[in-house]
Chains A and B, each alone.
Chain A
């Protein structure tokens, strides 16, 4: 069954059913394999980044241009009338006059939903504070499916800052459709929030907590690492004591499964040693590249160019 995404807002992964997620991934594969340089010819993307973001913004703008569309917008709120006190709603209404679709990143949680409420053109959330970043989750899912050949029944570890990391929250929530076995590896103060654990428990997802990667690495299909920020800790010594327990180097990979892949939303710090980069288990660069195709898929599905 072909589902329609025409004119739909993309605000949070939880808004999508399993069938819809799978269709997005299927469409991503089609565009990755068979580029369509004229698919969105004549369409304009309004790129509204109220908060600096080099990777995501460039990924979206490239995605649009490689489909034949063009881009207008801004990369920083200081370039807009926000500094004159203009409301978010008015800024979005202004952009609606010029663009066919808006992609936005904003520091406040819920900003993308607010924008979606006030304009009639589709809005894609490129990150709203520590709340949602749905396109990151879709590209994570796509990469996992691509490297594992499936999404169902995988053994997945989420490591690093699980408390403040929106990417791991969203990925955990998306995976409830796919019967995973989760392993959560984090320092004690950075554990996955209780609300998300409760949600997983309600959906019958099995998970466990661990102190270091070595405890579980041989069981894993996927290790999804995130950056632990030093500023989360009161003292540098405390940060130094934990960061090595949540980092991975070539030595860790001696007994992993052949299909094992390491993913990371990037940028990375100490958590993945550069010695891993040339290993067949390094999946994070492929993951970053897939951001382009996933965003192309979303733009084309929403603008009806399929």
Chain B
């Protein structure tokens, strides 16, 4: 049901599904690709570079009729550490939580070390999260080198 509040939203509200809010500006398309959201055959609405109360700008993704799981949500934390997940039912938020970095990250990041075996063989990358704040530090399982979030 459309409400007065919905009429003022930059991105239209959804009846049921998931809203990923407070995505770091510029990261929405990366997250769509990471979670393969465009292959779901569900309605997908994106807002890019929207004004935010907490940061200068943000992106937002709204996925109709699809609830993403917590492990899926935490995979995006490396790209959008402040993102919040809102589960929507009948236009109401029934669950809300902030993403958190998992203990390990597999496949979605490329090791910045050009001499790492993961950049030369058909295999997935694998990183341990060594530090979370103020910025994430990741250690490659294979070459053992540690990188900051900015390097990846």
Known A109-B142, A109-B143, A110-B144: A87·B122 in contact at CB below 8 Å: yes
Q: How many residues of chain A have a CB within 8 Å of chain B?
A: 19
A114 to B144, Cβ gap below 8 A?
A: no
With contacts defined as CB atoms under 8 Å apart, how many contacts are there between chain A and chain B in the complex? 50
Q: Report the Cα distance A109→B121, complex, angstroms.
A: 12
Residues on B with beta carbons closer than 8 Å to the beta carbon of A108: 115-117, 120-121
Interface flag for A215 (CB, 8 Å) = no
**Bound-state Cα–Cα, A110 to B126, Å:** 11
Q: How far is the CB of A170 from chain B (nearest CB, A)?
A: 10
B122, closest chain A residue (CB): A87
Q: Could you pull out 10 A-B pairs where Cβ atoms are within 8 angstroms?
A: A14-B144, A89-B121, A108-B116, A108-B121, A109-B117, A110-B140, A111-B142, A113-B142, A114-B117, A114-B121
Beyond the given pairs A89-B123, A113-B142, 19 more chain A to chain B contacts, judged by CB atoms under 8 angstroms and listed by A's residue number, are A14-B144, A87-B121, A89-B121, A106-B117, A107-B115, A109-B142, A109-B144, A110-B117, A110-B140, A110-B142, A110-B144, A113-B117, A114-B117, A114-B121, A129-B115, A129-B143, A131-B144, A132-B144, A195-B146
A residues less than 8 Å from B98 (CB atoms) = none
Let me know if A154 is at the binding interface, CB within 8 A: no
Whether A114 pairs with B123 at a CB distance below 8 angstroms is yes
Q: How far is the CB of B115 from chain A (nearest CB, A)?
A: 5
The chain A residues found within 8 Å of chain B, CB to CB, are 12, 14, 87-89, 106-111, 113-114, 128-132, 195
Do A111 and B117 have beta carbons less than 8 Å apart? Answer: yes
B64 contacts the other chain (CB 8 A) = no
List the A side residues contacting B121 at CB < 8 Å. Answer: 87-89, 108, 114
Residues of chain A within 8 A of B144, CB atoms compared? 12, 14, 109-110, 131-132
Q: Name, among A14, A107, A128, the residue most crowded by chain B CB atoms within 10 Å (CB to CB).
A: A128
B74 at the interface (CB under 8 A from A): no
**Pairwise interchain contact B141-A113, C-beta atoms closer than 8 A:** yes
Q: Are A109 and B141 in touch, CB under 8 angstroms?
A: no
Q: Which residue of A lies closest to B142 (CB)?
A: A110
Please provide the 9 A-B residue pairs with the shortest distance between their CB atoms, ordered closest to farther.
Answer: A110-B142, A109-B143, A110-B117, A108-B117, A110-B143, A111-B117, A113-B142, A109-B115, A114-B117
A28 shortest CB reach to chain B, Å: 25
Instruction: Confirm or deny: B113 has a beta carbon within 8 angstroms of a beta carbon on chain A.
Output: yes
The reply to whether A88 and B115 form a contact with Cβ atoms under 8 Å apart is no
Q: Which residues of B contact A109 (CB under 8 A)?
A: 113, 115-117, 142-145
The answer to the question of B75 belonging to the interface, with a C-beta cut-off of 8 Å to chain A, is no
User: Taking the complex as formed, is B118 at the interface, i.e. its CB lies under 8 A from any CB of chain A?
Assistant: yes
CB interface residues, B 101-152, toward A, < 8 Å: 113, 115-118, 120-123, 140-146
Known: A131-B143, A131-B144, A132-B144. A110 touches B122 (CB 8 A): no
Expressed in whole angstroms, the Cα–Cα distance for A134 and B14 within the complex equals 56
Q: Which residue of B lies closest to A109 (CB)?
A: B143
Bound CA span A132–B142, Å: 11
In the complex, what residues of A have CB within 8 A of residue B116's CB? 108-110
Q: How many whole Å from B106's CB to the nearest CB in chain A?
A: 12
Closest B residue, CB atoms, query A132: B144
Chain A residue contacts of B113, Cβ below 8 A: 109
Task: Compute how far the CA of A14 lies from the CA of B118 in the bound complex, rounded to whole angstroms.
Answer: 21
Per the bound structure, the CA–CA distance linking A173 and B117 in Å amounts to 23
User: For residue B117, which residues in chain A have a CB less than 8 angstroms away from its CB?
Assistant: 88, 106, 108-111, 113-114, 128
A109 → chain B closest CB, angstroms: 4
